[in-house]
Every structure is written in structure tokens, then in C-alpha cells.
């Protein structure tokens, strides 16, 4: 039996809907008092594959001394890079076709890390099955938005909400 793997967005945002400052900086998240790892470890156990955009990948490499997801299969959507490096496989081409093929391979769920450009493509093609969005009590005023404009209308269903210190995590399922 071939079960379709779920694509899950797991991301943090400011109260006014920004995932980073205009320059990509996310240090503002460290100023908010959380609880433990804010549910990350529990979520991470459910996935075995990660997809992200090239800008997000480059940013992850600047944040850590070592790539933090070397224990998972990682794909990076890019308009310029091809092949593999020691951490990821670069994907050039049709997001929908690649994602549909990936979802029908054997494995666990798939984490859509971001950024907003890749998320926008996934939303416009209705590829996201679950949205786990952790809201920080911060109004940034400007930055990189979680959701871009002109998205289709999507009806979601609230699965659960959790509080982690000052953060609130909302878990929605696509209807």
C-alpha cells in the first residue's frame, strides 16, 4: 500500500506575520521567552525529509557551525545550484512534480522549512497538508512575510494550540 507522505510547514512568525527581518535576521526570536525547544524535538521525530529554499539553506549554514539536519534527507530548491553538496541535494525544476514524486516515496512526513518564496509556491499549488505556526509576541513592523499575496482561499481546521512560555503554537490541518 502506497501512503502519501504529508508536507508540514513548521515555522515561527511575529504577531504581525513576519518570519525574519528584511535582511533575513531571526535573532528577534531569541528575545522571546519560550519553554524548552518550543515543541521542535517532538515535531522533528515525525519527519525524515526536509525541503527548503536556497536562501534559507544559505542562512542555516551561517547560523550553525555544522549543518543541523545531516540526519535527515534534505532537498534545497534553487534556481541556480544543481547536484549535491555534503548536506543536501539541490532541486532545479518543477516544484509540483518533484513534490508529488517525493510524497509517494516510502518514508516519514516532510518538513517544509521555508522560506517565504518556496512556501508561496507550495501554497499556490495546494501542497501543504499541515501548518504548524508558532507565533511570537512581537510586532516587527516590516520584514519577510510568512505569506505572500494573491494566495488561493484555503480552509483549514484547527487541530490544537499549545503555549510554550510566551509563544503560542497553532496546528492547522488542510480541509
pLDDT at position 120: 95
Express as a percent the part of the chain with pLDDT over 70: 99
* pLDDT tens digit sequence for 23-45: 989 999 999 999 999 999 999 99
Query: Is domain 1-47+126-145+170-175 in CATH 1.10.3720.10, yes or no?
Result: no
Q: Which residues contact 152 (CB under 8 A, 6 or more apart)?
A: 123, 124, 126
* pLDDT tens digit sequence for 104-130: 999 999 999 989 999 999 999 999 999
* pLDDT tens digit sequence for 122-155: 999 999 999 999 999 999 999 999 999 999 999 9
Residue 68 C-alpha cell reads as 543541523
User: 90: buried, middle or exposed (CB in 10 Å: 19+, 13-18, 0-12)?
Assistant: middle
**Phi and psi based region of residue 17 (left: phi greater than 0; alpha: psi -120 to 50; beta: remaining):** left
pLDDT at position 65: 84
Torsion angles phi and psi, residue 108, rounded to 5: -85, -170
Count of Cβ atoms closer than 10 Å to residue 119 Cβ: 26
Listed by start position, the domains of the chain span 1-47+126-145+170-175, 48-88+97-107
Q: Does residue 1 have a pLDDT over 90?
A: no
pLDDT at position 63: 84
Q: Is residue 46 reached through a cis peptide bond, with omega within 30 degrees of 0 on the bond before it? A: no
For residue 59, the SS3 value is helix
Mean pLDDT of the chain: 94
For 9-21, give one letter per residue: b (16+ CB within 10 A) or e.
bbbbbbeeebbbb
Q: Dihedral of the CA atoms 143, 164, 166, 157 (nearest 10)?
A: 60
* pLDDT tens digit sequence for 47-75: 999 999 999 999 899 888 889 999 999 99
Confidence at 2, pLDDT banded by 50, 70, 90: low
Amino acid at each position: 500500500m502506497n501512503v502519501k507522505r504529508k508536507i508540514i510547514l513548521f515555522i515561527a512568525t511575529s504577531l504581525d506575520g513576519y518570519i525574519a527581518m528584511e535582511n533575513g535576521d531571526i535573532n528577534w526570536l531569541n528575545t522571546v521567552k519560550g519553554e524548552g525547544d518550543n515543541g521542535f524535538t517532538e515535531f522533528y521525530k515525525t519527519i525524515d525529509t526536509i525541503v527548503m529554499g536556497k536562501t534559507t539553506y544559505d542562512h542555516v549554514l551561517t547560523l550553525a557551525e555544522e549543518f543541523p539536519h545531516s540526519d535527515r534527507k534534505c532537498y534545497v530548491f534553487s534556481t541556480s545550484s544543481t547536484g549535491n553538496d555534503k548536506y543536501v541535494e539541490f532541486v532545479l525544476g518543477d516544484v509540483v512534480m518533484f513534490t508529488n514524486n517525493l510524497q509517494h516515496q516510502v518514508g516519514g512526513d516532510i518538513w517544509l522549512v521555508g522560506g517565504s518564496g518556496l512556501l508561496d509556491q507550495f501554497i499556490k499549488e495546494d501542497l501543504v497538508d499541515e501548518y504548524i505556526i508558532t507565533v511570537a509576541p512581537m510586532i516587527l513592523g516590516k520584514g519577510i512575510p510568512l505569506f505572500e499575496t494573491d494566495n488561493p482561499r484555503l480552509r483549514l481546521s484547527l487541530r490544537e494550540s499549545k503555549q510554550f512560555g510566551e509563544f503560542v503554537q497553532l496546528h492547522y490541518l488542510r480541509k
